[in-house]
Each structure stands twice: as structure tokens, then as C-alpha cells.
């Protein structure tokens, strides 16, 4: 460390003493430049000690895109400083805002690129209050020691219910009849309108959403087929098929519930539409790159497809407003919206009060547990590491959080640094090029903490260090 960093560190130690009135207290705000976080424990009235930053008021949380109030409450209850915005921010504004925050919460519109993240001097974690994380440069975040969390399950029911509603709406051409009557036209027809009972639903991706959808569809009397790249136990009488083509050949309704990957890009395109039954229906509430929309338009015009429901698109507007979904955004937009029995919704699959509340709780809890305790369970880019809580009567114990490059010999080096103390418990795991070690060491005083930090900070494999107590 430079002499300036050492002076800063010593000043933070003295500040902790002044705040606590005890010569054994140590604290500082978490920064990447020195001793990222030094938390305190709760009073001895609790059986388990909670690891929290010494001065929670130093913790700065930036929440964008109208993240649910449940998340705001959780962060404020921790004593954190919370800055809340209902929309995303322009890149230049976000770069300025992100410089000093310790955690940021976003949804799907904010793009955290490497160009933005490189300005984040204190950033410890990112919370994606949604399923997807493709709006974050995960590689850069990982290499910078920034843990990323999301909510993969909390909106599953909301998405499944949307798909059920759209299946019935497509089968009965309800969208068209509603638009017609809004314009004064009375058009009572039954031609090519169907009950969904007895029809076959083909689900591509049988995860949390696909499996819930399966149960709902069967309750309405539908037969369910599903295709997944891994073998998954069926719920109810649903049946897994070995190939995508078999699903396409035999399904009346086909719905996609897969992530955005190179393998799923244009997963449904001209060859897949050709393999479908005449008059099949397509639904996509997963990712906008999964369905080749120009090919879908052609299949519809050729009479192969009887209707479609799309909730996601390759390019989506950055904010709400009239006229923003246009040909400049997606060159086929005008042609798509001119077609009958095509349901278009603005990425609202998980947009229910129940889902957003649950997402707020899930992601905010993950972030606070990571900030306060170092627990990375649920992180999409870190190995999942956790240690049991400290008992309230444990004194002079420090939790070491050491994020490092996954190279040989690191554990030996770290344990040599910690060898002057009793290592009460330790857990280390790796994921790709990154590894994460947590250790609780006892019999530690103020000068020991500085020494441990300095020695770990000088190790070659270090990415980021935090010491909690």
C-alpha cells in the first residue's frame, strides 16, 4: 500500500474508535482502495451475531427503474443511504452516480457495460430485479470482484398466467374483436375460434415458468409436451420429448421459456415454422432474440401460423412513451403491428404487484446478506459461498472475504497470512477464473486487522478484500 493509503486506513481506524468509544472498534466505508467493509455485530441479546458495516449510513445504494418499495424498505431498515429513481438514467449521468455507490439495483432497461462499471470505485454488488442478467457485463463485473444477483423464480407464476391468458385470447381472436368493437364495429364470428380443451401445448424450456405453466394448462384440459436440453421430471401427465422437431410437429400452441444464449438465438425461425402444424400459435415471453420475427411474419402471411403473442423483442425502448416502438428500433415493427391476431405486449410478463414485491424482497435480501455477511448464495457470477453465523458471545472474531483469481497456491498463501490466528471456519470455492474464500478468525485485535489486511492486499491473486467483524 502507498503511504497515503496507509494514512487513510489509520484515519478510518481512529474514526471507528471515536464513533464507538472503544479502543477495539474498527470501521470504514467499503471501498476498493482499502478495507472494503468493516462491519459490526449486533448486541449480545441476539443469539446469532449479524455482520454489518460499522457505520451503515456510509453505505450508498442506487436504485433505478422503479424498483419495488419492498427493496427500498429493506435497505432503509439496514440504515443504508438509498437513492431512488423511477426510470433508467442516461449513460453520462449513470457514470457519475455509480462512482460512489456500494450497490446498484436495476431492471431490464439499464445497461451496465464495462464502460460504466469501470467508473465504479466502491461497487460491491449489483442487483438485477428481474430474471435476466444480460444487461450487465458479467465478465467485467466478475473480474472487478463485483457480485451480481437476480431473481430467477419470483415472477414465474405471473409469466405463466400471462401465457395462459394469451393462449385463450389467441384461440378466440379476442384481441381483434376488442379492437374492432373499440372502433364501433360489431363482428360476431366463430370461424377459426377454438376451445383450448383437448389441444396440445408445447413448452420449450421446462424450468420454473415452464413447469408452472404445465400445471395450469393441464388444469384446463390441455395436453402438454415439453422439450429441454436436460432430462426433467414431468409434473402431472406432461411428457418430455427428445427433440424440438417432435414438439413442433405435435403442438397446437408453442411457447418459449429459455434464456438468451448463442444456442437459443433464432431458435424458432423458418425451418422450425415449416415443421409446425398448420394453424399453430407461437408465444414468446422469454427473450427477444429467441424468435426470428421476420420469419414469423412470413410464416403468418403464408397461413402456416394462425397467431402469435410476443412480450419481448430484439430491441426494446429505453422508456415508456407514445411512438417509441417503431421501425427505427426494429425494422419490421410496422409490418408486424398490421397483422391480425398478433398480441403485442411491452415486456410485462413479470409485471404484477405480487411478482415485483417478491422480486424486491428476494434481490434486496441477497444484496444485504452479501454486503453484511459476505454470503454469495444466489450470485450468478460468483461461486456460492456461505458460512454459518457467529454466536453472540464470540469476541474479537473477524470474517475475511477474499475474492481472487483462480490459480494454484492461493489457499496456502492466505492460510499463511491467517496462521497467527485460530481459523474457526473456512470455505472456498471457484467458478471459472474467479474464486472466493471466506474465513472466520478469532483472537484478533485492532492492530491484527490492519496487518491481516496489508498482507492479503499484497498477494498476487487478490481481486478484492473485505474484512467484517
Q: List, by residue number, the catalytic residues.
A: 287, 316, 347
What are the residues whose beta carbons fall under 8 Å from the beta carbon of 257, sequence distance 6 or more? 159, 203, 204, 205, 206, 207, 209, 210, 213, 285, 286
Nearest to 405 by CA among 465, 463, 466, 467: 463
Cell numbers at residue 20, please?
Answer: 464507538
Beta partners for residue 345, in sequence order: none
Phi–psi pair at 279, nearest 5 degrees: 80, 20
What's the rounded Cα separation, in Å, for the pair 141 and 139? 5
In angstroms, the first-to-last Cα distance of the chain is 22
Beta partners for residue 147, in sequence order: 125
Matching residue, cell 423458418: 270
Residues 250 and 265 sit within 8 Å (Cβ to Cβ)? no
Residues 118 and 140 sit within 8 Å (Cβ to Cβ)? yes
Nearest to 422 by CA among 450, 392, 394: 394
What's the rounded Cα separation, in Å, for the pair 29 and 81? 12
Residues 30 and 102 sit within 8 Å (Cβ to Cβ)? yes
What's the rounded Cα separation, in Å, for the pair 325 and 316? 7
Of how many residues is the chain composed? 469
What's the rounded Cα separation, in Å, for the pair 281 and 220? 17
Cell numbers at residue 308, please?
Answer: 402469435
Rounded (5°) CA angle 241-244-247: 60
Q: Is beta strand 462-468 parallel, antiparallel or unpaired with respect to 398-405?
A: antiparallel
Amino acid at each position: 500500500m502507498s503511504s497515503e493509503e496507509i494514512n487513510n486506513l489509520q484515519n478510518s481506524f481512529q474514526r471507528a474508535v471515536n464513533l464507538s468509544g472503544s479502543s477495539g472498534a474498527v470501521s470504514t466505508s467499503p471501498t476498493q482502495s482499502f478495507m472494503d467493509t468493516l462491519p459490526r455485530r449486533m448486541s449480545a441479546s441476539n443469539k446469532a451475531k449479524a455482520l454489518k458495516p460499522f457505520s451503515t449510513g456510509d453505505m450508498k445504494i442506487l436504485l433505478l427503474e422503479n424498483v419495488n418499495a419492498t427493496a427500498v424498505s429493506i435497505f432503509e431498515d439496514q440504515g443504508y443511504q438509498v437513492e431512488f429513481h423511477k426510470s433508467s438514467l442516461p449513460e453520462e449521468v449513470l457514470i457519475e452516480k455509480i462512482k460512489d455507490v456500494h450497490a446498484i439495483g436495476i431492471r431490464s432497461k439499464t445497461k451496465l457495460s464495462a464502460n460504466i462499471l469501470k467508473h465504479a470505485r466502491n461497487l460491491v454488488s449489483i442487483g438485477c430485479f428481474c430474471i435476466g442478467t444480460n444487461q450487465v457485463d458479467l465478465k467485467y463485473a466478475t473480474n472487478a470482484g463485483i457480485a451480481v444477483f437476480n431473481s430467477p423464480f419470483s415472477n414465474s407464476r405471473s409469466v405463466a398466467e400471462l401465457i395462459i391468458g394469451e393462449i385463450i385470447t389467441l384461440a378466440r381472436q379476442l384481441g381483434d374483436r376488442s379492437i374492432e368493437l373499440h372502433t364501433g364495429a360489431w363482428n360476431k364470428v366463430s370461424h377459426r375460434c377454438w376451445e383450448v380443451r383437448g389441444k396440445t401445448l408445447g413448452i420449450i424450456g421446462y424450468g420454473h415458468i415452464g413447469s408452472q405453466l404445465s400445471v395450469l394448462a393441464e388444469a384446463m384440459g390441455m395436453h402438454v409436451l415439453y422439450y429441454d436440453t436436460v432430462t426433467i421430471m414431468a409434473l402431472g401427465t406432461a411428457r418430455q420429448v427428445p427433440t424440438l422437431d417432435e414438439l413442433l410437429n405435435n403442438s397446437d400452441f408453442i411457447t418459449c421459456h429459455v434464456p438468451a444464449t448463442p444456442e437459443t438465438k433464432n431458435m424458432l425461425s423458418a425451418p422450425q415454422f415449416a415443421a409446425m402444424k398448420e394453424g399453430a400459435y407461437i408465444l414468446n415471453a422469454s427473450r427477444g432474440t429467441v424468435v426470428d420475427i421476420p420469419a414469423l411474419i412470413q410464416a403468418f402471411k403464408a397461413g402456416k401460423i394462425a397467431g402469435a403473442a410476443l412480450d419481448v423483442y430484439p430491441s426494446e425502448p429505453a422508456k415508456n412513451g407514445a411512438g417509441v416502438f417503431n421501425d427505427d428500433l426494429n425494422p419490421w415493427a410496422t409490418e408486424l403491428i398490421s397483422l391480425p391476431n398478433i398480441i403485442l405486449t411491452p415486456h410485462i410478463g413479470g409485471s404484477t404487484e405480487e411478482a415485483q414485491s417478491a422480486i424486491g424482497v428476494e434481490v434486496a435480501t441477497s444484496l444485504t446478506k452479501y454486503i453484511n455477511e459476505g454470503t454469495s448464495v444466489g450470485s450468478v457470477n460468483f461461486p456460492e459461498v456461505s458460512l454459518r453465523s457467529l454466536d453472540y458471545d464470540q469476541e474479537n472474531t473477524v470474517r475475511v472475504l477474499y475474492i481472487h483469481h483462480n490459480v494454484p497456491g492461493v489457499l496456502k498463501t492466505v492460510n499463511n497470512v491467517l496462521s497467527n490466528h485460530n481459523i474457526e471456519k473456512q470455505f472456498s470455492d471457484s467458478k471459472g477464473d474467479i474464486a472466493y474464500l471466506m474465513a472466520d478468525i478469532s483472537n484478533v485485535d485492532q492492530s491484527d486487522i490492519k496487518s491481516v489486511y496489508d498482507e492479503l492486499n499484497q498477494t498476487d491473486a487478490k481481486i478484492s478484500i473485505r474484512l467484517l467483524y
